[in-house]
Chain A
């Protein structure tokens, strides 16, 4: 595989995602953890851009960095006495590290058959080949049969919005998600507010 700008961008965003994630779990200062969490979210957003999912990348920045990370920062400030803990990891951290490493190894072993790019089509059937038969594939990756980025213009925000509200699309999950968000909103207010009798 030759080194292209895409590869370099992928490496940069992957380092951002994983480095940020690692600092979240090992940083002693909780405030720094939250800031590294933002970095990790931003790296994920970059990966979404590379995967030609610009809508999800924008939502990632808005929802994760703009809402969830800010919510975490507020929670840290509201519990500020807990920020400077002497011990940030509990006594079972070696076991936790072992579990994480074993999990990673198992996942990598599961993924390893896909290293051969032709195997992707073999494992997942002819679906990929059928879909892409009439379309020009990415010239950088002829063997893999992956569609080139510029042929993906059909997946627009409009298409996503339509899929969310059409009957043979996702209208039921969409409404359920609305109920879930409303319940979460009310639940969060009820749980977190002060009892004034």
Chain B
């Protein structure tokens, strides 16, 4: 069986990729996608630890299910905000949306 740390390294790499995307992309939709990648990385971690350390309690899987719920809510509200901004400013480039910047 694949050792636990394989999963943890994959999850760490996925999280780093998502963090890079969230920091470096200009398009707000790409940033939302990167955040989804980071949530996925956290989920891999949760399920891997559940499987290897405590597989007879289902808490780990329930945790992962709640991450799904939060991810779905986040995607819906985030994309609605992006569409509203696009409608009023005709842009989804985060640098151009600086109305609140002093």
The CA of A1 and the CA of B6, in the complex, are separated in Å by 12
Question: Which chain B residue lies CB-closest to A7?
Answer: B2
Shortest B65–chain A CB gap in Å is: 7
Q: Decide yes or no whether A197 CB sits under 8 A from chain B.
A: no
Binding site for B on A (CB under 8 A): 1, 4, 6-7, 10, 14, 17-18, 21-22, 24-25, 30, 33-34, 37, 40-41, 44, 47-48, 50-53, 55-56, 59-60, 63-64, 67-68, 71-72, 74-76, 78-79, 81-82, 85, 87-90, 92-93, 95-97, 99-101, 103-104, 107-108, 111-112, 114-115, 117, 120, 124, 127-128, 131, 138, 140-141, 144, 146-147, 149, 152, 154-155, 159-160, 163-164, 170, 173, 177, 180-181, 183-185, 187-189, 191-192, 194
Q: List 26 A-B contacts (CB under 8 A).
A: A1-B3, A17-B40, A22-B17, A24-B21, A25-B17, A33-B33, A44-B40, A48-B47, A56-B47, A56-B61, A59-B68, A64-B68, A75-B83, A78-B86, A79-B82, A82-B86, A89-B26, A104-B13, A104-B16, A107-B16, A127-B53, A141-B3, A155-B58, A184-B77, A187-B80, A188-B80
Q: Are A6 and B2 in touch, CB under 8 angstroms?
A: yes
Binding site for A on B (CB under 8 A): 1-10, 12-21, 23-27, 29-30, 32-34, 36-37, 40, 43-44, 47-48, 50-56, 58-59, 61-62, 64-66, 68-77, 79-84, 86-87, 90-95
Shortest B60–chain A CB gap in Å is: 8
Contact pick for A71, options B15, B19, B50, B79, CB 8 Å: B79
Contact pick for A85, options B2, B9, B21, B27, CB 8 Å: B27
Chain B positions within 8 Å of A30 at CB level = 27, 29-30
The verdict on A47 contacting B10 (CB below 8 Å), with A25-B24, A79-B82, A191-B81 known, is yes
Q: Are B72 and A128 in touch, CB under 8 angstroms?
A: no
Chain B positions within 8 Å of A112 at CB level = 5
Q: Are A188 and B29 in touch, CB under 8 angstroms?
A: no
The verdict on A63 contacting B84 (CB below 8 Å), with A85-B26, A103-B19, A104-B16 known, is no
The verdict on A53 contacting B15 (CB below 8 Å), with A25-B30, A97-B24 known, is no
